[in-house]
Every structure is written in C-alpha cells, then in structure tokens.
Homo-oligomer: A and B are copies of this chain.
Amino acid sequence: MIEYYDVSGCYILRPWSYAMWESIKDFFDAEIKKLGVKNAYFPLFVSEKALIKEKDHVEGFAPEVAWVTRSGNSELEEPIAVRPTSETVMYPIFSKWIRSHRDLPLKLNQWCNVVRWEFKDPTPFIRSREFLWQEGHTAFATKPEADEEVLAILELYRRVYEEVLAVPVIKGIKSELEKFAGGLYTTTVEAFIRNTGRGIQGATSHCLGQNFAKMFEIYFLNDNRERKMVWQNSWGLTTRTIGVMVMVHGDDKGLVLPPRVAPVQVVIIHIPSKDIETNVLIESCKEIAKELRDAGVRVEEDYRDNYKPGWKFSNWEMKGVPLRIEIGPKDVASKQVKVVRRDDGGKDFISVENIGDSIKNLLDVVQKSMLEKATRERDSCIVQARSWDEFMAALNNKKLVMAPWCDEKEVEEQVKERTKADLSGAAKTLCMPFEQPELPEGTVCFSSGKPAKKWALWGRSY
C-alpha cells in the first residue's frame, strides 16, 4: 500500500493503493462532470498577500503552511506559500472571471496535491503532510443554488464511501467549532472505525456563504444590472478515503478490499499435482482468466513456481483480493473451479460454464455484503446518552454517542476540555446528523443541562 519516506509525514502511494485512488477518481470525476463541473489546474504556490486576505481562514491554516523562501542559492524577495487548500489561489481569479449573471454558476474542480505541515502524529492516508485530493470551488448567483449543490456533492461523497468503498457513513452538519475556517456551514460524511472506537471525517462539502466573495471582491451584475455578491461553495475528498476503507474492512490477515475498488478482483492460483502436467493445468487456468477478463473482471494469475499454493493464498489474502480461484486436476476434469471469498472465507465450487457472469454476480454479492456487515457493526456501536455519565460510559466503551445538545460553541469547548485528560484524546462533535431521532420538548443537553436543540453525534476522532 504505502512505503515510508525520509521526509517525515510524507508517504509513497504504491501502485496497489494508487490504483484504488484511480477508481475513486474515475467514479467521482464522471459524476461531477454530469453536474456541469469542469476540471482546471491552479498553481501550487500562493502569495502571502492572497493567503492572509480572509482572516478566519488564515488563522485556521497559517500554522501548517510550508513556505518556499529560496530558489537555488538566492533568497526570494517574498516568501511563497505551498497551498494548504486553494480558496486563496482561486478566488482572486474568480473576481476577474465573474462579471455578469451569465458567467454563473461557475463550477471548477481540480485534482492535485496539497501540503499541511501538521505537527500531530502523521499517519499514512489519515494524516500526512502532503496528500492528494480533489477540491471543487463553485460560485452561484443565489444562496438556494449554493445550498442545493452542497447537498448534491455530499450525496456523491456518500456514494463514494457506500457504493465504491462499502463503508457506511452518516451525513450531517458540523458544529460551529468544527466547521471550515472562514466558511458559513460545513456538511460532512462521518465514518466509524471499530477497532479504535473512533469516528473519522470522510469528506466535507462547505457552503462558504459570501465571506470570501467579500474579501476577494467577487461581484456580478444581475438581470437588473445590479451589482451583487456571489455565493460560494468548496468541497474536497482526499486519499484519506483509502485509509478509512482499509481500517473499516481490514482483519488479522490483512486488507479486505471491496471488489469495486480492488486493483485485482480475482486471483487465479493453480494447484500442481502429480495427476496432471503443470502445462496442461496452467493452460486451463489461462482459459478461465481470459474469459473473466473478457467479462470485464480484473484478474491476476499467479503461476510462480518458487512458492507453494498455501503461501500464495496467504499472500493474496494479505493484499485483500476479494476472490481467489483455485484450480487443480479434479477441477479441470469436472469443469469447475473452487472459489474462496476474502470477506467471509466462504468457499464454493463454480461451473466453468458462464463463469464470467457467475463471478461478476459473486463480486456484486461480496460488495453488498461488505457494506451490510460494516453497517451492522457501526450501528451496534452508536449509543444514545442523555446524561454526562451515560456519555462518558459510552465513550470509554469505544462507542459513538448520540446525545441531545444545546448547540453552543462554549459547551463543545467544555466537553473537549473535560475529556481530553484521557490518553485517547478529547471527544468532539462529529456532526449533527441530518437524520435526527425525535427530540421531545423539555429534553436537556447531556452536558450543560440547557434546553437541547438537536441530537449531535459525539466521539473521539482522528
């Protein structure tokens, strides 16, 4: 998946994980193009002047910005920042490009690298100093249009997780404390990691309101020739997706990959025997491989003779390949193959007749069943708490906690303060889920005792 590197916090995405990123990219890129979003490319570097224009935004990012101060042996006249995100790169240009209501909506996206020199412990995929992502930046004439797009993109993020990665997520809105620096509101998809009992932010879709438009002077003339400010969104999905998928599905034997994102969906391994010439056996395997490839299945054939079948089984299990096909002399004779599922260890014999269709169906079954299993496990780890004691008990039991909340910034800060003594770090709101349990009149906040306004999902997080 990854390789370590001599610049701390940077990792190498090996072909195995990069191919997963390509699958995610292909899916999402096709979907946003349907929404009329166009890809472009803006520079890696930001001038200090542009970077510091939006006050809240720069406060959020400044401590993590990497600065280029030298080229060759010459000091630059002005230091130049490496983009931590591209609002301040793009919006000065938006103000040039947008003149009239006919220039709206403007919907741009880019696939690129960004750098955040974080001092928290770096973790491959989850928190690295350089990562790959897409960042969408759009501008609209009206707030309702912006609001609608925020949700349309969030739905695509849900589909990336649930349909492509088989990872269940909860959609919701971020608290004031957790929202994007400089934005109006942030929506999110939140996933859950069973082993650590922690929530993890999957991807965020922000309505920026008019804060950036004001700072970067992005105005347009409406139908009546009146000068108006645009409404903006930004939204991003990173290589963290891969890390979440790995943590949600992995087991003691290694990776477990959902078929849609697996670089190899089926590995074919021959089982040599004195009952059959190895050449003849491999020929049979190759025919099956060809049929599967023709059906659009991603197949790998492992005929290495310096490893025993058992070693190969473990090796491909570790890599997470969804299906293993074993073919020995008996299978050749009876025109069938043995198929072993990586996700639940299920074994079956499948006829070579129409094997393309059979395997494709089975891959669909595996994909669906992995999402169902992960959803059951996640659901069993969400607990409702109405008091501080219930809250702490659930938290320390590695659960996510749904709790009625007064929705006050100070109260979230207090909860963080009261929980952070613990080694596993502070609890915070992951989101206020769109899907809300009933909140009977008179319900009070689990922490402040004030009237509760909403249910919030709390947890320790990454």
User: B-contacting residues of A (Cβ < 8 Å)?
Assistant: 3, 5-7, 10-15, 18-19, 21-22, 38-47, 49-50, 62-73, 79-80, 82, 92-93, 96-97, 102, 108, 112-113, 115, 117, 130, 132, 304, 306
| Interchain nearest-CB distance for A403 vs B (Å) | 35
Question: Residue A47 contacts which of B7, B19, B45 (CB distance < 8 angstroms)?
Answer: B7
**CB-based contact A72/B68 at 8 Å:** no
Contacts A50-B6, A62-B72, A112-B113 given; indicate if A39 touches B22 (C-beta within 8 A): yes
A113 to B279, alpha carbons, bound, how many Å? 46
Pairs across A and B, CB under 8 Å, 20 listed: A3-B93, A5-B42, A6-B49, A7-B80, A10-B45, A12-B41, A13-B40, A14-B40, A15-B39, A15-B108, A18-B40, A44-B130, A45-B130, A63-B72, A63-B73, A64-B72, A66-B71, A69-B70, A72-B117, A112-B113
- Please state the number of chain copies in the assembly: 2
A113 to B41, alpha carbons, bound, how many Å? 10
Chain B neighbourhood of A70, CB < 8 A: 66-67, 69, 79
Contacts A67-B69, A67-B70, A67-B71 given; indicate if A7 touches B40 (C-beta within 8 A): no
**CB-based contact A43/B11 at 8 Å:** yes
Chain B neighbourhood of A12, CB < 8 A: 40-43, 93
Chain B neighbourhood of A5, CB < 8 A: 42-43, 93
Chain B neighbourhood of A113, CB < 8 A: 44, 112-113
**CB-based contact B80/A71 at 8 Å:** no
Chain B neighbourhood of A66, CB < 8 A: 68, 70-71
Chain B neighbourhood of A69, CB < 8 A: 67-70
Chain B neighbourhood of A10, CB < 8 A: 43-45
Known: A7-B80, A69-B70, A102-B306; 5 extra A-B contacts, CB below 8 A, are A10-B43, A18-B39, A67-B69, A67-B70, A70-B79
Contacts A3-B96, A49-B6 given; indicate if A117 touches B43 (C-beta within 8 A): no
Chain B neighbourhood of A11, CB < 8 A: 43
Name the residue of chain B whose CB is nearest to the CB of A12.
B42
Name the residue of chain B whose CB is nearest to the CB of A70.
B67
Name the residue of chain B whose CB is nearest to the CB of A97.
B3
A67 to B65, alpha carbons, bound, how many Å? 14
Q: Which of A47, A50, A66, A306 has most chain B Cβ within 10 Å?
A: A66
A44 to B70, alpha carbons, bound, how many Å? 16
A43 to B62, alpha carbons, bound, how many Å? 22
Chain B neighbourhood of A63, CB < 8 A: 72-73
Chain B neighbourhood of A132, CB < 8 A: 41
Question: Residue A64 contacts which of B6, B43, B67, B71 (CB distance < 8 angstroms)?
Answer: B71
A237 to B79, alpha carbons, bound, how many Å? 30
Q: Which of A22, A44, A306 has most chain B Cβ within 10 Å?
A: A44
| Interchain nearest-CB distance for A448 vs B (Å) | 34
Question: Residue A68 contacts which of B19, B82, B112 (CB distance < 8 angstroms)?
Answer: B82
A73 to B67, alpha carbons, bound, how many Å? 9
Contacts A12-B40, A19-B39, A40-B12 given; indicate if A117 touches B47 (C-beta within 8 A): no
Q: Which of A13, A68, A73, A97 has most chain B Cβ within 10 Å?
A: A68
Chain B neighbourhood of A117, CB < 8 A: 71-72
A130 to B79, alpha carbons, bound, how many Å? 16
Chain B neighbourhood of A65, CB < 8 A: 71-72
A11 to B45, alpha carbons, bound, how many Å? 10
A117 to B70, alpha carbons, bound, how many Å? 10
Chain B neighbourhood of A43, CB < 8 A: 5, 7, 10-12, 130
| Interchain nearest-CB distance for A133 vs B (Å) | 12
**CB-based contact B67/A40 at 8 Å:** no
Q: A-B pairs with the 8 shortest C-beta distances?
A: A71-B117, A15-B38, A10-B43, A13-B41, A63-B72, A67-B70, A7-B45, A69-B69
| Interchain nearest-CB distance for A29 vs B (Å) | 9
